[in-house]
Amino acid sequence: NKAIAVMTSGGDAQGMNSNVRAIVRTALFKGCKAFVVMEGYEGLVRGGPEYIKEFSWEDVRGWNAEGGTNIGTARCLEFRQREGRLLGALHLIEAGVDALIVCGGDGSLTGADLFRSEWPSLIQELQETGKITQEQHTRYKHLNICGTVGSIDNDMSTTDATIGAYSALDRICQAIDYVEATANSHSRAFVVEVMGRNCGWLALLAGIATSADYIFIPEKPASDGDWQKQMCDIVAKHRARGKRTTIVIVAEGAISADLTPISPSDVHKVLVDKLGLDTRITTLGHVQRGGTAVAYDRILATLQGVEAVNAVLESDADTPSPLIAVNENKITRKPLVESVRLTKSVADAIKAKDFKKAMALRDTEFIE
């Protein structure tokens, strides 16, 4: 009987609990043991039954309706060092775990793949230093790893949606609807800053869903052309037609100085100085990651959790680590390393202001 462990890592995202629930229950349904690693990679480094816990069917009851991640998450510096990964390997073997499913963003999945590729040398060292026996070395000579993508940013290449993205989008739309009501009362303009790291997906889709007047995203730099004139012309035209509200959305990725030097206060100043609008700035912050998951994320996370368990049970030493994706509404498997590499290339192209390359890479259908 195999033992399958699941962890959540990086920033939390709505739907992670559904993913953990599905993985635990599918593992048990298939006759495996199910474990959870608490607090992301930190739990692997700490080890022991407090951090690597065996879970039963009942332990995940009701989790579809709970936000955040109940097994905790962390951004762990120690696991970035080989010493931390050596401890992680030892603790997994001590707990009797054969396969690890990591639900996280690109950074977390990069860590997962590194862990897998280093595994033979890690267990070799553990045996040579007497930390594990020859039998354990033979039994655990291969670690199966699988990734499911949990992130509100929807920034992972090769999948159409990441777990949490549609919930965060929904939260942003709700918040902008609230802001719209008070904007309407005072005939005000609001500059709304939304999350998304290097990716403009949340800002763009929220802009469409809330009929925002203007949107700043990292993929289309504000410095490309005269954004001040363009934005003011559009806003003035809407106002001339009797609109009492103005909503401008700024993606956090558009703020970072090495991308495009735009900030909500720059936009605020232009709306006040050039159009004389009574303007406020609202930064939505972590409320975007809060609350429960929308139905889509619960379903996506559940279907992907089932597929992740199937994938680790079907993998052997020669199978590249899979990443569970969704493409045109079908749950699919992609090579984890390639997906992470492509995601990084897109982010690098945006940082280098090579937006054409970023868009071309994002559209790449390179994996069958």
Active site residues: 153
For the bound state, the minimum distance from the C-beta of residue 61 to ligand F6P, rounded and expressed in Å, comes to: 28
* β-strand partners of 177: none
**Secondary structure (DSSP) of 296-314:** HHHHHHHHHHHHHHHHHHH
CB-nearest residue to ligand F6P = 195
Member of 111, 196, 264, 322 binding ligand F6P (CB under 6 A): 196
Residue 217, interface with ligand F6P (CB under 6 A)?
A: no
For residue 164, say whether it is annotated as part of any ligand binding site.
no
Member of 15, 68, 72, 105 binding ligand F6P (CB under 6 A): 105
Alpha carbon of 359 to those of 94, 143, 220, 350: distances in Å? 45, 35, 10, 9
Crossing angle of helices 295-314 and 165-186, rounded to 10°: 160
Residue 104, interface with ligand F6P (CB under 6 A)?
A: no
For residue 84, say whether it is annotated as part of any ligand binding site.
no
Long-range contacts, 316-322 (Cβ 8 Å, 24+): 316/142, 317/141, 317/142, 321/112, 321/113, 321/116, 321/144, 321/145, 321/146, 321/147, 322/146, 322/147
For the bound state, the minimum distance from the C-beta of residue 314 to ligand F6P, rounded and expressed in Å, comes to: 30
Which residue is listed with tokens 């008070």? 182
Smallest CA-to-CA distance from 169 within 213, 189, 214, 199 is with: 199
**Do the Cβ atoms of 361 and 157 come closer than 8 Å?**
yes
Rounded to the nearest 5°, which phi and psi values hold at 286? -70, -5
Residue 197, interface with ligand F6P (CB under 6 A)?
A: yes
**Chain centroid to CA 187:** 36
For residue 280, say whether it is annotated as part of any ligand binding site.
yes
Q: Which stretch binds ligand F6P (CB under 6 A): 26-34, 189-197, 293-301, 317-325?
A: 189-197
| Nearer to ligand F6P among residue 152 and residue 231 (C-beta) | 152
Nearest-angstrom CA–CA distance, 326 and 336: 13
For residue 253, say whether it is annotated as part of any ligand binding site.
no
Size of the site for ligand F6P (CB under 6 A): 10
Member of 18, 110, 144, 151 binding ligand F6P (CB under 6 A): 151
Member of 42, 106, 113, 153 binding ligand F6P (CB under 6 A): 153
Nearest-angstrom CA–CA distance, 11 and 252: 15
For the bound state, the minimum distance from the C-beta of residue 108 to ligand F6P, rounded and expressed in Å, comes to: 10
For the bound state, the minimum distance from the C-beta of residue 286 to ligand F6P, rounded and expressed in Å, comes to: 6
For the bound state, the minimum distance from the C-beta of residue 141 to ligand F6P, rounded and expressed in Å, comes to: 34
Query: What letter represents residue 173's amino acid?
Result: C
Residues 6 or more apart in contact with residue 257 via CB below 8 angstroms? none
| Nearer to ligand F6P among residue 151 and residue 158 (C-beta) | 151
Member of 195, 301, 313, 349 binding ligand F6P (CB under 6 A): 195
Residue 289, interface with ligand F6P (CB under 6 A)?
A: yes
Q: Which stretch binds ligand F6P (CB under 6 A): 40-48, 190-198, 255-263, 296-304?
A: 190-198
Nearest-angstrom CA–CA distance, 74 and 80: 13
Strands 322-327 and 330-335: antiparallel
Nearest-angstrom CA–CA distance, 355 and 361: 10
Q: Which stretch binds ligand F6P (CB under 6 A): 23-31, 76-84, 151-159, 170-178?
A: 151-159
Residue 72, interface with ligand F6P (CB under 6 A)?
A: no
For the bound state, the minimum distance from the C-beta of residue 228 to ligand F6P, rounded and expressed in Å, comes to: 26
List binding-site positions for Mg(2+). Answer: 106
Residues making contact with ligand F6P (CB under 6 A): 11, 105, 151-153, 195-197, 252, 289
The annotated binding site is made up of 11, 75-76, 105-108, 151-153, 188, 195-197, 252, 280, 286-289
